[in-house]
Amino acid sequence: MNKPKIFISSTVYDFADMRSSLRYWLTELGFNVQLSERPNFDKDSSKNSFESCLETVKECDYFILLLGSRVGGWFDEEKTISITRKEYQTAYESLVSKGGNVQKIFTFIRQNVWDVRDDRKALEKLLNKIYKHDYSKLAEYDLSKFESKFLNDDASHIMSFIDEVTRRDEMAGYENPPNNWVHHFEGFQDIIDAIKTELKLSFNISARGMKQNVKLALVGNLREIFRRDNGELVPFYKNFQPIHELLLNNNLSNTQANGMKIHSAGEFFDYCKSKATKLNTFAFEDAVSSSAFLRYDSISDEIVSTNFHRALLEMLDAIRKVKMITPKAVLVRTGTEMHMPSGTGVNISRTTTPPKIHYDRVAFYQYKVIYERFIDIVDISRYMLSIIENPSKSLEYPDLFSEKMDVTKPSESEVLQLLRGGV
pLDDT at res. 358: 57
From CA 87, how far away is CA 50, in angstroms rounded?
9
Q: What is the pLDDT of residue 251?
A: 76
In order along its 423 residues, the chain shows pLDDT tens digits of 578 899 999 998 889 999 999 999 998 888 899 999 888 888 888 888 888 899 999 999 999 999 998 888 999 988 889 999 999 999 999 999 988 999 999 999 999 888 887 766 666 666 666 666 565 555 555 555 555 555 555 778 888 899 999 998 888 877 788 888 999 999 999 999 999 888 876 556 777 788 899 999 999 999 999 989 888 999 999 988 988 888 888 877 666 667 777 777 777 887 887 888 899 999 999 999 988 888 877 778 788 889 999 999 999 999 999 998 876 655 544 444 433 434 444 444 444 444 455 566 778 888 888 999 999 999 999 999 999 988 777 788 888 877 766 667 787 778 878 888 765
Closest CA to 37 of 22, 4, 93: 22
Annotated domain spans of the chain: 5-199, 205-419
Percent of the chain with pLDDT over 90: 35
CATH number of 5-199: 3.40.50
Dihedral of CA 216/220/226/231: which sign?
A: positive
pLDDT at position 123, please?
66
Dihedral pair phi/psi, residue 305, rounded to 5°: -80, 140
pLDDT at 137: 56
